[in-house]
């Protein structure tokens, strides 16, 4: 799904019988949910608009979406070690991995 250049992924929770989504091309957290495709789509638009209004009310520039997506599947134990290392370094997991990849590239 895409709205105003914000791109979201959607998953279905078959136990709760609800769709939930998250904007993926910004570091700010923007989530939404709905029981039908129409509800989900409107909730996505509403969440983006709420985020933009929140930023305006605070006098802040909203984070602009960035392009690209990087999906990596790793062993859960490695995921945990990297997460702990990132927190100890006062970095996000994404920043830690990006720095590590940059050194290799």
Residues 8 and 48 both lie in one domain: yes
Residue predicted with more confidence, 63 or 75:
75
Residues 44 and 76 both lie in one domain: no
Task: Compute the distance between CA of residue 27 and CA of residue 19 in angstroms, rounded to an integer.
Answer: 21
Residues 30 and 77 both lie in one domain: no
65 assigned to some structural domain? no
Domain hosting 27: range is 2-58
Percent of the chain with pLDDT over 90: 76
Enter the DSSP assignment of 83: H
Q: Is the pLDDT of residue 63 over 90?
A: no
Q: Is the pLDDT of residue 9 over 60?
A: yes
Task: Compute the distance between CA of residue 42 and CA of residue 65 in angstroms, rounded to an integer.
Answer: 19
Residues 19 and 49 both lie in one domain: yes
103 assigned to some structural domain? yes
Structurally, the chain folds into a number of domains equal to 2
| Per-residue pLDDT tens digits for 42-58 | 999 999 999 999 999 99
Here the tokens at position 83 are 């997460």
Residues 53 and 75 both lie in one domain: no
């Amino acid at each position: 799904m895409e709205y105003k250049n914000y791109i979201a992924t959607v998953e279905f929770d078959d136990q709760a019988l609800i769709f939930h989504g998250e904007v993926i091309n910004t570091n700010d957290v923007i989530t939404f949910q709905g029981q039908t495709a129409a509800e989900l789509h409107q909730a996505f638009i509403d969440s983006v608009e709420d985020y933009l209004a929140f930023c305006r009310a605070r006098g802040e520039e909203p984070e602009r979406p960035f392009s690209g997506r990087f999906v990596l599947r790793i062993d859960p134990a490695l995921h945990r070690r990297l997460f702990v290392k990132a927190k100890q370094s006062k970095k996000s997991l994404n920043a830690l991995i990006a720095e590590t990849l940059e050194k290799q590239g």
